[in-house]
Amino acid sequence: MKGKVFVIGLGLIGGSLAMAVRHAHPEAVIVGIDLSEKNIQLSRLLGIIDDSVSSLEAGACDADLILLAVPVNETVQILAKLAELDLKRDVLISDAGSTKDKVVKAAGPLIDKGVAFIGGHPMAGSHKSGAGAAKLHLFENAFYLLTPDETVEEGKIEQLKEWLIGTRANFLVVTPSTHDRLTGVISHFPHIVASGLVKQAETYSKENELISRLAAGGFRDITRIASSSPEMWRDILLHNRDVLLVLMNDWLKEMENVKELVENEDSEEILRFFKDAKTFRDDLP
Ligand code: NAD
């Protein structure tokens, strides 16, 4: 496809999306903006973008596709600013944020103006940040959830998929609230647990420095995601508050249950706890 693509946020996700768009649509012109001069320079150097701009207006007003890949609180603010601009009538706007309910609500003024906003979340990533970590194949075979407002025509969704075909991701359309519940369970809440485990190890490492040296293997595996951007995760928790509060309560009940089994030395039920978890884990695709 030809046209101008404006990428807002040239980090891991924005950079990777831009690479995928460039790969599938070499004739498109890709322009980017970022608060970080380093990420702009890197994006230019790596050929991720053709050009950069220093204001939203300069990048957005003649864009055919606008992709937002900034932390979700920034997304909300930028969507409000975009709604005040004189955009192309048939512009497509999507984002890559990890939460969708608040983001799609924030796109309300744009949608009211007749702009096609399609929430998006490529379900792949890394604990690394910045344009230097961007990869063309980051989203290959991953699910890419789309949460279009009901006013968005089917043709516009197909057009967005066509723009993003270079991601080689599997697109799935869900509602914003379904998205937030699903990702709360399989991504956001596990993230809290991973960081909680690291904090617990940190506390115990004060009494014995061997903790840090021994924290290898399994501990490293299940806590890898705790190295992700703290700002990004702060925003995700604040956005998905209601879902996460329910999940935290459920988790506390589950932990109380395990605690009771251990207190009672209930060997049979402890075995069942691990067997049930193993069965579900082994059956995951
Ligand atoms: P990142 O830190 O690598 O990149 C974010 C970029 O946005 C940075 O370069 C930052 O300078 C820039 N930025 C922040 N505020 C800005 C603003 N107001 N205007 C312009 N640029 C701004 O983060 P990322 O991993 O690429 O995450 C981007 C989005 O993608 C987030 O909403 C995140 O929830 C979502 N996401 C992340 C992952 C992941 O694994 N990292 C996966 C899927 C979706």
Distance from residue 236's CA to the centre of ligand 1 (Å): 11
Q: What is the pLDDT of residue 155?
A: 96
Q: How many domains does the chain have?
A: 2
Least confident of 86-90, 187-191, 215-219: 215-219
Look at residue 123 in the predicted model and tell me its pLDDT.
Answer: 96
Ligand 1 atom index nearest CA of 68: 29
Which residue, of 150, 174, 198, is where some domain finishes?
174
The answer to whether the CB of 229 is under 6 A from ligand 1 is yes
CATH assignment at residue 265: 1.10.3660.10
- The answer to whether the CB of 227 is under 6 A from ligand 1 is no
* CATH number for the domain that contains residue 131: 3.40.50.720
Q: Do residues 96 and 163 touch, judged by C-beta distance below 8 A?
A: no
Mean pLDDT, range 51-66, rounded to an integer: 98
Q: 3-state DSSP call for residue 102? A: helix
pLDDT tens, residue by residue, 127-180 = 899 999 999 999 999 999 999 988 999 999 999 999 999 999 999 999 999 999
CA 157 vs CA 2, 89, 144, 153: distances in Å: 17, 16, 13, 7
- Taking only the tens place, the pLDDT of each residue in 81-136 is 999 999 999 999 999 999 999 999 999 999 999 999 999 999 998 889 999 999 99
Let me know: does 66 contact 91? Beta carbons within 8 Å: yes
Q: Are residues 212 and 152 in the same domain?
A: no
Q: How far apart are CA 90 and CA 88, in angstroms?
A: 6
Q: Please, which residues bridge with residue 68 across strands?
A: 8, 95
Average pLDDT estimate for 66-82: 97
71 lines ligand 1 (CB under 6 A): yes
Which structural domain range is residue 232 located in? 179-283
Contact residues for 66 (Cβ-Cβ < 8 A; gap 6+): 5, 6, 8, 59, 60, 82, 87, 91, 92, 93, 94
Mean pLDDT of 213-233: 93
Task: Spell out the residues 6+ positions from residue 121 whose beta carbon is closer than 8 angstroms to its own.
Answer: 96, 97, 98, 100, 144, 145, 147, 179, 183
Ligand 1 close to Cβ of residue 79 (< 6 A)? no
| 162 and 183 assigned to the same domain | no
Looking at the fold, whether 149 and 222 belong to one and the same domain comes out as no
Task: Say how many Å lie between the CA of residue 11 and the centre of ligand 1.
Answer: 5
Q: What is the mean pLDDT of residues 243-272?
A: 98
Judge if 85 and 201 occupy the same domain.
no
Give the distance (Å) from ligand 1 centre to CA of residue 275: 38
Identify the pLDDT of residue 126: 87
Is the CB of residue 98 less than 8 Å from the CB of residue 238? no
Q: What is the mean pLDDT of residues 5-21?
A: 98
Q: Do 13 and 109 fall within a single domain?
A: yes
pLDDT of 245 strictly over 90:
yes
Among residues 174, 202, 237, the one where a domain terminates is: 174
> Is the pLDDT confidence value at 262 over 90?
yes
What mean pLDDT value characterizes the chain? 97
For a ligand 1 pocket test, name from 6, 7, 12 the mutation site with the most ligand atoms within 8 angstroms of its C-beta: 12
φ, ψ (nearest 5 deg) of residue 284: -65, 140
Q: What is the mean pLDDT of residues 176-190?
A: 98
Q: Measured in angstroms, how far is the CA atom of residue 277 from the centroid of ligand 1? A: 33
Tell whether 148 and 200 lie within a shared domain.
no
pLDDT given at position 149: 86
Q: Above 90 in pLDDT, residue 76?
A: yes
Amino acid letter at 96? A
Predicted-complex ipTM score: 0.99
What is the structure's pLDDT at 216?
Answer: 86
Mean per-residue pLDDT, 75-80: 98
pLDDT at 54 exceeding the cut of 90: yes
> Is any atom of ligand 1 closer than 6 Å to the C-beta of 7?
no
Q: Is 122 in the pocket of ligand 1 (CB under 6 A)?
A: yes
